[in-house]
Amino acid sequence: MWLTRSDAAPAPGSIRVGIFGLRRIAPLRVLVAILITACVPATAEPSVAMIELLALEGFDPVSYFVKEGPLAGSARFELTWGGRVWRFASGADRAAFRDNPEVYTPRLGGFDAAGILDGRLVDADPLVFAVIGERLYLFRDGERRARFLADPDLARQAEAAWPGLQDLLDVPIRDAPR
């Protein structure tokens, strides 16, 4: 018995496998698969895209200014701003950030400030930081921070170099205005 719609008998010795109306069923299967995928609820686990967009590796940006150093933020207190997800240690910190994000966001896109001076975008460690002139700067390591802090003019130089490096980013970063 053949499962195809062809009325012609198969050639002797040939193997013919098919499903009746396959050309009509295949698009329907694709549509059903798309609909099922769209209806699957999102899981509580963060996606790769979510992890990439998590600002300060999940540390509370407000805590750099008002606490004894940075505190880990919580998924309970999240806010999306400037294309990134920000986490906070408390609802009060989230509210403070929401009211004035320009004050709390790291300068220079959160990249290593000393790297900006070298003309490179270098990932920073959120635990190596300095608040200079009420602005948060991040660094890759303590040596880079010490170099930066040794000359008060370096912050101004890094700020001047930053706009030229933003073109290197795959995703634009909203940086706080001066």
Q: Taking 50 as the threshold, does the pLDDT of residue 3 lie above it?
A: no
Please choose, from the candidates 167, 155, 47, 168, the residue with its C-alpha nearest in 3D space to the C-alpha of residue 106: 155
Residue at a domain's end among 103, 120, 151: 103
In this predicted model, what pLDDT tens digit does every residue of 103-142 receive, in sequence order? 999 999 999 999 999 999 999 999 999 998 889 999 999 9
Q: Report angle CA 112, 104, 106 to the nearest 5 degrees.
A: 10
CA-CA distance, 27 to 31, in Å (whole number)? 6
Q: Taking 60 as the threshold, does the pLDDT of residue 72 lie above it?
A: yes
In this predicted model, what pLDDT tens digit does every residue of 7-41 receive, in sequence order? 454 455 433 333 334 344 455 454 545 555 454 45
Residue at a domain's end among 57, 77, 103: 103
Q: Taking 60 as the threshold, does the pLDDT of residue 89 lie above it?
A: yes
Same domain flag for 98 and 114 = no
- Structurally, how many domains does the chain consist of? 2
Burial class (CB in 10 A: 0-12, 13-18, 19+), 39: exposed
Tell me which residue range forms the domain holding 117: 106-164
**Within-domain flag for 1:** no
**Within-domain flag for 175:** no
Give the predicted TM-score (pTM) of the model.
0.66
Model pLDDT, residue 170: 59
Phi, psi dihedral angles at 54 (to 5 degrees) = -75, 115
Tokens at residue 146, please? 């010490």
Phi, psi dihedral angles at 137 (to 5 degrees) = -120, 140
Phi, psi dihedral angles at 89 (to 5 degrees) = -80, -20
**pLDDT class of 5 with cuts at 50, 70, 90:** very low
